[in-house]
């Protein structure tokens, strides 16, 4: 059975893709919990300057609020060639997503991500790029989540610094090797939301986000067909 990616949200700083049919309650829970843990991690650490510490808090918070970790991997490696983040993320997902059509993923990554609407594009850049005081270095943290009908989520995150000016779509921008500074840091988290566990947090997380949700989450047009 293959699924289509028909909805996308910018949820805080995470571009979140939903493979249909995603159960409505799982969608609400995953978006709320996802936003809450981002805010919690960012309250403790600045992801642009303290990526590893921020990552540790984020993963810890995810598991504390009911995400059962199925897999986790992180790496830090020198950048040896020009990169396009969308391609790296696509590659990371390619082995595992038998249930999501390859074509769908290609469409999202290769075609549709390039056509983010102006509003989404502006928000992605605002949430993913921090420019140094002297305007010569951009620190970039790009995050993508995929929600599946099986109540699972894959969260991918990549961080790097570059001297290049980041354009309207950092996911698809080709970044020249020479302008990249230091290592490419990344992690991937795969988890399933334990409903029994999340029941204890659902209402309070929802209430905590009541005042902030509208400014931090919106549906993205252009990311999907």
Partner 1 sequence: MNNEAFLNYLASVPSIDSIPPAQDAPGASVNAIEPASAAVVGQAVIGFVEGMSQQARDDVLDTVTYATLAADKRYNVVTQNGEWYTTFRAVMTRALHWASQDIAFLSYSSREQVVTMDKISLDLIASSITAAATGGAAGPLLQQIAADAVEALRKQDKPLGLFNSRTRKPGGARFVVGGCNESREGVIVLAVGAVEAKTEISVGNVLFFNWNSVAVDMNRSADVFVFHQSLYAQRRERVRQALLEASDAAFLEFPI
How far apart (Å, rounded) are the C-alpha atoms in residues 18 and 163? 33
Contacts of 62 (CB under 8 A, 6+ apart): 33, 37, 69, 155, 189, 191
First-to-last alpha carbon distance for the chain, in angstroms, is 19
Q: Provide the CB-side half-sphere exposure for 45 (13 A, CA).
A: 14
Q: How far is the CB of 179 from partner 1 (least distance, A)?
A: 29
Closer of 149 and 222 to partner 1 (Cβ):
149
Closer of 39 and 84 to partner 1 (Cβ):
39
Q: How far is the CB of 35 from partner 1 (least distance, A)?
A: 9
Q: How far is the CB of 55 from partner 1 (least distance, A)?
A: 8
Q: Could you tell me the CA-to-CA distances from 100 to 19, 55, 96 in Å, in that order?
A: 7, 27, 9
Contact 154, 145 (CB under 8 A): yes
Contact 161, 78 (CB under 8 A): no
Closer of 73 and 117 to partner 1 (Cβ):
73
DSSP per position, 120-166: HHHHHHHHHEEE-TTSS-EEEEEEEEEE-TTSEEEEEEEEEEESSPP
Q: How far is the CB of 153 from partner 1 (least distance, A)?
A: 8
Binding residues for partner 1 (CB under 8 A): 1, 3, 36-37, 39-41, 43, 56-57, 59-61, 63-65, 68-74, 92-93, 95-99, 148-152, 154, 188-190, 192, 194, 196-197, 199-201, 204, 208
Q: How far is the CB of 174 from partner 1 (least distance, A)?
A: 25
How far apart (Å, rounded) are the C-alpha atoms in residues 177 and 167? 16
Closer of 13 and 148 to partner 1 (Cβ):
148
Closer of 9 and 26 to partner 1 (Cβ):
26
Q: How far is the CB of 184 from partner 1 (least distance, A)?
A: 16
Closer of 69 and 177 to partner 1 (Cβ):
69
């Amino acid at each position: 059975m293959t699924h289509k990616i028909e909805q996308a949200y910018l949820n805080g700083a995470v571009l979140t893709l939903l493979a249909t049919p995603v159960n409505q309650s799982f969608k609400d829970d995953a978006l709320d919990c996802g936003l809450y843990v981002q805010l919690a991690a960012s309250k403790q650490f600045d992801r642009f300057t303290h990526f590893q510490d921020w990552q540790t808090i984020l993963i810890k918070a995810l598991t504390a609020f009911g995400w059962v970790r199925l897999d986790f991997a992180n790496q830090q490696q020198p950048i040896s060639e020009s990169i396009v983040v969308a391609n790296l993320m696509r590659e990371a997902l390619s082995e595992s997503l038998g249930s999501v059509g390859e074509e769908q993923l290609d469409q999202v990554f290769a075609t549709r991500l390039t056509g983010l609407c102006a509003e989404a594009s502006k928000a992605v850049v605002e949430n993913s790029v921090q420019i140094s005081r002297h305007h010569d270095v951009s620190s970039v943290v790009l995050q993508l989540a995929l929600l599946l009908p099986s109540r699972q989520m894959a969260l991918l995150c990549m961080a790097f610094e570059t001297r290049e000016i980041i354009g309207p779509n950092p996911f698809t921008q080709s970044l020249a090797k020479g302008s990249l500074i230091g290592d490419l840091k990344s992690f991937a988290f795969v988890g399933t939301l334990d409903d029994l566990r999340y029941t204890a947090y659902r209402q309070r997380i929802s209430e905590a986000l009541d005042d902030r949700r509208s400014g931090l989450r919106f549906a993205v047009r252009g990311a999907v067909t």
